[in-house]
Structure formats: C-alpha cells, structure tokens
A and B are shown apart, each in its own frame.
Chain A
Amino acid sequence: MKKKQRGTFNLGRLLQNNIVPIMFLGICIVCFPLSGRSPAYLLNELVTRLGRNTFLVLSLLIPVMAGMGMNFAMTLGAMAGQIGLILVADWQIWGIPGIILAMIVSIPISILLGVFCGSMLNKAKGREMITSYIIAFFMTGVYQLVVLFMMGPIIPIAHDSLKLSRGFGIRNTVSLLNMRQALDNLLAINVMGVKIPVLTFLIIGVLCLVIIWFRRTKLGQDMRAVAQDMEVARDAGINVDRTRVLAIVISTVVAGFGMIIYLQNMGNFSTYNAHSQIGMFSIAALLVGGASVEKASIGNAFLGVILFHMMFIMAPDAATTITGDSMIGEYFRTFVSYGVITVALIMYETRKRRNRSQTGYLLALAQKEEEARGK
C-alpha cells in the first residue's frame, strides 16, 4: 500500500515538474496535423534550428549552475558577437576564417561586458534576473551608441556597403553573404532530404562535453556550492563574488560564439535589433525543455530547442488553417514564449515557498517531538 502511494506521488510530482514540456508537446501534437506540413519538412527545419540555436541556449547553463538564474544579459554576448561580425565583414574575411576571427574579436568584448555585468549582479544578489534583464536594455543603448556613432569616425569602417550614406554608423542590415552557412555547409551530409550540419553539431557536442567537464572542475564545484548557499560557500573559503563574475563571463563569451553561429546560418542580420530578443527566446526554449531557474541541464537545452522550435515552425501554419490569418500564429508563438517564462517563474516561486513551508513544518514537528521527550 505504502509502495503504491509512493508510486502515485512520484507520478504526480513528475507531471508537476515537467508540466511545461508536456504542455508544449501537447501544443505540437495538436498543431502538427493543422499545419499541413510534411514530417520531412518539419525535420529539416528542426535540424536547421537545432544547429542554429542550441549553442545560444547552452550558454545559459553556467549561470544557473552558479545560482544566478536565467542570464538575460546573454544579450551582451550577442552584441559582442555582432560587433565581431561587423568588423570581420568590413575586413573582408570570408568563410570559416571569418567566423573564427569574429569569435576571437568577440572574446575580449564579451569578457569586458561579462565582468561589468557580473559585478553589477553581485551588487544585486537575489535579484539577478531582473537586474540582468535591465542591464541588457542598458547595454543595448551603449551598443547602439557604438555602432551608430563610433563606427566610422572612431572605429575605422572602410566599406561604403556597411556605412550609412552620411559617412558614419552602420546600415540597418549587415550582409554576411560571404560567410553564410560556411559552418553548416562544411561536412554537411544529406540524409533522405534532410541536411545535417555535422560540423555545427560537432561544435555543439564539444561545448556539451566542456560543460560536463567544467561541472567536475574546482571552479564548477565552487559554483555549485555558491548556488547552494553563498554564506556557507564563503565560510568554506570560496571567493563568492569572483565565482559569480566568472559564471557570467563564461556565459557571455559562449553567448557571443552562439550568436555568431546563429547569424552565419541566417546570412545577414539586423544591426540594431538582432540581439534584442535572443535572450528572451533562448530562456524560453530552455524553460520549455523543463529547466527551472535553479536547475538546468544539457538535456533541457536540447529538448527545449526541439519543442520550442516545433511550435515556432508549426504555429503560423496551424493558425492560418484555423483562423485564415498567419499573423495570429506569429502573435501566438510570441505570447507563448513570454507566457512560458512567466509560468516557469511562478512555478519556481511556488515550489520554493512550498519547500520552505514544508521545512518549517518538519522543524516544528521535530521541536514538538523534542519537547515531548523532554517532558
């Protein structure tokens, strides 16, 4: 009887813990026949988006490990990646060398931005997510200042195809035609009409291995200790602030690389807007994969990208079938993205409160027991 009870409890808990992925799976199952798309089309799109976005989503894992929640400031890394790409496009470095050079250029910018962001977050302990969200907005302004006014007069930009006709500032769209899908096409294989970007997946695989290895390092252990309890970690001799800054720096650098991988797949980018929603959508994808603010794994990242993008691919077509207007699908997928983040945050808080009250209840019971024993 007892065993059965435990089994039921676990199933309920399992459902409760995975409500977001289950919900999304449901949406996808409903949308698939309505979208009228073939499985081959869906698979092709899914593989492309998996290669394009997974690196970005994986960049969020380290700050979660360090107890800093979802790093909305990964946008800073995306900006660094974009600056790298603008410079490389101006220097006319094409193909894979261009991508590698853009990554190298993005590293110092990402580190600087990461150190800045990490230091700010250390001053706002316990409110990391909202702080990082606002930092992302703030840094967008700085990015616009740099790209709109400093590129040309201060940072040399030689090509008129990049510059605005007034002679300084970058145009609305930067073409990456000379490095478009260079990474995806190298070593790509075609399996039954589905193009698999092997090299991109290999790079993602290497990042996964690095994350697994990193968790076992001293710094990785320190981050987990900091996430558990900052005071205890400090007493154990861990430099809490430095560890937290490093978590954000790593996340920002990886996000910069991720943005470059993402944009080389797209082939061009909107100079002033491309980065703005990347954090939001990456976080939504990770949460859809079953991650929470305090726990996220590589599996969550992959599952999240698959489910989130399945919805992204099918929603406009499904909405067109139902309402006759594809725009409804666009709205649907946007409001679902924001909705998922809201649900995940509410669930996290509810669970935290429940755990806290449960701990309080257990403590009270233990106290009563002790008092009874004393009598």
Chain B
Amino acid sequence: MKKRNFLFQGLLVLVLVAIGAVMMVIGRGHTVYFDNRSLEYNGTNYDSLYKIEVYLGGSAEGEAVARLYDQERGMATQVGQSMTLTLVITPEDGGEEADPATYTIDLPYNMDGIVINLPAYLEGLPEEAYLTEFVPLVTEEPEEEIDLGGDMGLGDF
C-alpha cells in the first residue's frame, strides 16, 4: 500500500513537472518589433520598402497591427515560440499592393524583445541578419522606498 502511494505521488509530481514544462514553452511571451529599415549585410545594401502592412495570423483580415512606411517600427506581442503573420507589401510609392503573403517566424526562447527587420527577412537573409534582440534603455532611477505595510488592513479586498 505504501509503495503504491509512493508511486502515485511520484507520478503526480512528474505529471506536474511535465505540465509546468509545457506551460513554459507555450506560454513564453515575446514583444516583437517590426522594422521597415534599410540594412547592410555582407557588403550588400538592402533597401526598405515603401509600405508594409502587418497582420497577425494567416490572413490579412481585420485591423493591421502595424502599417510601416520607410524607417518606421511597429510592435506586437506574441505568446509561444513562433509567430505567423501576413504581410501586404507596397514596394514603391504609387505602386500596386502585392497579394498578401503569410510567413511563420521562429522566435528565440531567450529573448523578451525581438526586432525583426522585414526587408532583410523578405530577402531571405539568415536569422542573424534579420533578427536582433531588443534591449531596453537602462535609465538611472532613484531608490524606491520599500513599503512593508502596517496599515491594519485599510486597503481594499
């Protein structure tokens, strides 16, 4: 009986650890920044496009998360390890909009903020060229005073 209980408890721990591991993968959140900027890679210059409309998901329906003209940056949040987005591209001013195209981009687990250079990505450059980590600017802050309580519960419940 004791052995069976021990086995059951061990199994329960394993199941919980497994669920935890799955949650860590499927729930990892990223902030993704889309750049429509020119880029130089291996001596070749890749120009920005006139306009890129970014839609999350597999179709260009609904509201675009970003409408990027030359040198502009957009932002979206994504939970999970990959991002599917649909792009509607207008290569030149006055030119015709291309048909919507859907792409799936893998997002590195260890990055909170990810910058994707869309012209580089669309040119088929390697990940190191189109994907960089977004590092927020560190600002000097005054020391925060710690509030350890002691108000005898006048707060809201």
Determine the residue in chain A with the shortest Cβ distance to B155: A277
Shortest CB distance B151–A (Å):
8
Whole-angstrom distance from the CB of B142 to the nearest CB of chain A? 7
Residue with the highest number of chain B CB atoms closer than 10 Å, among A96, A97, A101, A334: A97
Of residues 21 through 38 on chain A, the ones whose CB sits less than 8 Å from some CB of chain B are: none
CA distance A307 to B145 in the complex (A): 37
Are B27 and A96 closer than 8 Å at their CB atoms? yes
Q: Looking across the interface, which residue of chain A has its beta carbon closest to that of B147? A: A172
Bound complex: CA A107 to CA B28 (Å): 21
CB-based contact A164/B143 at 8 Å: yes
Task: Give the residues in chain A near B20, CB-CB below 8 Å.
Answer: 100-101, 104-105
Count how many pairs of residues, one from A and one from B, have CB atoms less than 8 Å apart in the complex.
95
Which single member of A95, A164, A277 contacts B27 (CB below 8 Å)? A95
Task: Decide if A169 touches B153 in the complex (CB within 8 Å).
Answer: no
Stretch binding the partner chain, chosen from A86-94, A221-229, A353-361, A366-374? A86-94
Could you tell me how many residues of chain A have their Cβ less than 8 Å away from some Cβ of chain B? 40
Cross-chain contact B148 with A272 (CB below 8 angstroms):
yes
Please pick, from B30, B79, B138, B151, the residue contacting A95 in the complex, using a CB distance under 8 A: B79
Bound form: Cα–Cα A171–B141 in Å: 12
Determine whether A166 belongs to the interface, using a CB cutoff of 8 Å to chain B: yes
Q: Judge if B122 is at the interface, Cβ distance under 8 Å.
A: no
The reply to whether A94 and B154 form a contact with Cβ atoms under 8 Å apart is no
CB distance from B35 to the nearest CB of A (A): 22
B63 at interface, CB cutoff 8 A: no
Contact A92 B112 (CB under 8 A): yes
In the complex, the chain A residue whose C-beta lies closest to that of B153 is A277
Chain A, range 101-143, C-beta contacts under 8 Å to B: 101, 104-105, 107
Categorize the interface residue count of chain B: 20 to 34
Interface contact B23-A272, CB-CB below 8 Å? no
Across the interface, name the chain B residue whose C-beta is closest to A96: B27
Q: How far is the CB of B18 from chain A (nearest CB, A)?
A: 10
List residues of chain B with CB within 8 A of the CB of A104.
Answer: 16, 19-20, 23
Question: Nearest chain B CB to A308's CB is how many angstroms away?
Answer: 8
Given contacts A92-B112, A165-B143, contact A98 B27 (CB under 8 A): yes
Interface bits B1-45 vs A (CB < 8 Å: 1, else 0): 000000000000000100110111011111000000000000000
Instruction: List, sorted by A's number, 19 A–B pairs whose CB atoms are closer than 8 Å.
Output: A53-B157, A93-B24, A94-B27, A94-B77, A97-B26, A97-B27, A97-B79, A100-B23, A105-B20, A164-B146, A165-B141, A165-B144, A166-B143, A169-B146, A172-B145, A280-B153, A312-B157, A334-B154, A338-B153
Enumerate chain A interface residues (CB-CB to B < 8 A). 53, 91-98, 100-101, 104-105, 107, 144, 148, 159-160, 164-166, 169, 171-172, 178, 270, 272-273, 276-278, 280-281, 309, 312, 330-331, 334, 337-338
14 A-B pairs besides A100-B20, A277-B155 with CB distance below 8 A are: A92-B30, A93-B28, A97-B79, A98-B23, A104-B20, A105-B20, A159-B112, A164-B143, A171-B144, A178-B77, A273-B148, A277-B157, A281-B153, A334-B153
Q: Which 6 residue pairs across A and B have the least CB separation, nearest first?
A: A97-B27, A94-B29, A273-B149, A97-B23, A93-B27, A277-B153
